[in-house]
Structures are given as C-alpha cells and as structure tokens.
Amino acid sequence: MLKITTLLGSPRRNGNSEQLAAAFAKGASASGHTVQTVRLHTLKIGGCIDCRRCWMNGTHCFLHDDMADIYRALDSADVFVFAVPLYFYSWPAQIKPVWDRLLPYYMPDSKVDIKGRRAVLLAVAGDESASCFGGLSKSFELACGFCKWEIAGEIYANGVYAAGDIASGDWLARAEALGRGLQS
C-alpha cells in the first residue's frame, strides 16, 4: 500500500486539474493506496529566500509558513502527485514555491531523504496543441532527475479550457487507470 500526496496547483476549485486528480485518487484508492490531497491556493507559501539556513532551527526551512504542512506530507509520502493547470507555458504560481522550497532535502546536512520516491504529473491546458506542454514536461523531467525521483506517470490534457472541459475525451479514465495501476 502506498501513501500518496497530491498537490493541487490550481486556484480554481473543482477545475480541470482537480477533477483529474480526483480521478487519479479514485483509481489509487481502489487499489488500496491512501491519498492525501492538499489545495495549495488556500495556503501561504513564500518563495525560497536563499538564506542557506535550512535545518538551522531544527526544521526543514527557516521561514515559518504553511510550507511546514507540505514538508510533513512529503516526508512520509511514497508518491508525489502534481496536479496543475498550464500557466504561461509553465507552473502556476501556487506550486512554483513548493519546488523551490524542496532545497532543504538536497542540502548536504539534510535530515530527511526523499530521494527514490515517485512522482506523477497531471497537467491541463486550454491550447489545442499538446506541444504547449513542452516547457512544463522538460521542467518536470529535469526536476525529477535532480530530486532523484522516478517518474511514475504523466498526463498532459490539452484542449481543456473551461472548467469541466476535462470530462470530454478520455482524460479522466486515463487518470483513474494511472492511479489504479500504481504498484506498491
């Protein structure tokens, strides 16, 4: 049984990426995995300030904000799921600080090792061409390489603009199948 942490990067409640994440969670739960879902938009998470004081006060980061909850969730998860809309060919502002604040895990004196975990990207975009995801997919690939995470699945749903568009086509079925197929 796997512990899965899903980070919702969209400010839009019950939007396309959230529905994709819900379908993934349905499949994963059916296979006996547990899924914790965190909506980033309601949290206060600042950007990394490059103070190089990771772990100095006994915790991951010197900043005191809601990233503490994310650290807790990431510390114990086997699989990280990033569910995001494409914003200007890249990550939405809600999730970018989370990536940057992973730095403590990769400092030489890190107290928690999250290398070897698995990561999934569920992305949606309004553009009709799947090529719009080129920058995001490269960023995900490089970031997972740096973090030493295995990519356990990627869904890039293009042509999905208005809330609810994700229901047309087979995107939700594909996300559910991806979740169901995760092996412990």
Ligand X SMILES: Cc1cc2nc3c(=O)[nH]c(=O)nc-3n(C[C@H](O)[C@H](O)[C@H](O)COP(=O)(O)O)c2cc1C
Which residues are at the interface with ligand X (CB under 6 A)? 10, 12, 15-18, 85-89, 124-127, 132, 160-161, 163
For ligand X, the closer of residues 89 and 146 by Cβ is 89
- Kindly state the smallest distance separating residue 9's Cβ from ligand X, in Å: 8
For ligand X, the closer of residues 15 and 179 by Cβ is 15
| Cα gap 146→58, rounded to integer Å | 24
| Cα gap 11→39, rounded to integer Å | 8
Render the burial of 14-49: b for 16+ CB within 10 Å, e for the rest: ebbbbbbbbbbbebbeeeebebebbbbeebebeebe
For ligand X, the closer of residues 55 and 161 by Cβ is 161
Number of Cβ atoms within 10 Å of the Cβ of 112: 12
79-85/3-8 β-pairing? parallel
- Kindly state the smallest distance separating residue 138's Cβ from ligand X, in Å: 15
For the chain, counts of helices (H) and of strands (E): 5, 5
- Kindly state the smallest distance separating residue 172's Cβ from ligand X, in Å: 13
- Kindly state the smallest distance separating residue 11's Cβ from ligand X, in Å: 7
Eight-state DSSP code of residue 140: H
For ligand X, the closer of residues 107 and 167 by Cβ is 167
Tokens of 161: 């603009």
Strands of the chain, DSSP E: 3-8, 34-39, 79-85, 118-124, 150-157
- Kindly state the smallest distance separating residue 127's Cβ from ligand X, in Å: 3
For ligand X, which residue has the nearest CB? Answer: 15
For ligand X, the closer of residues 85 and 153 by Cβ is 85
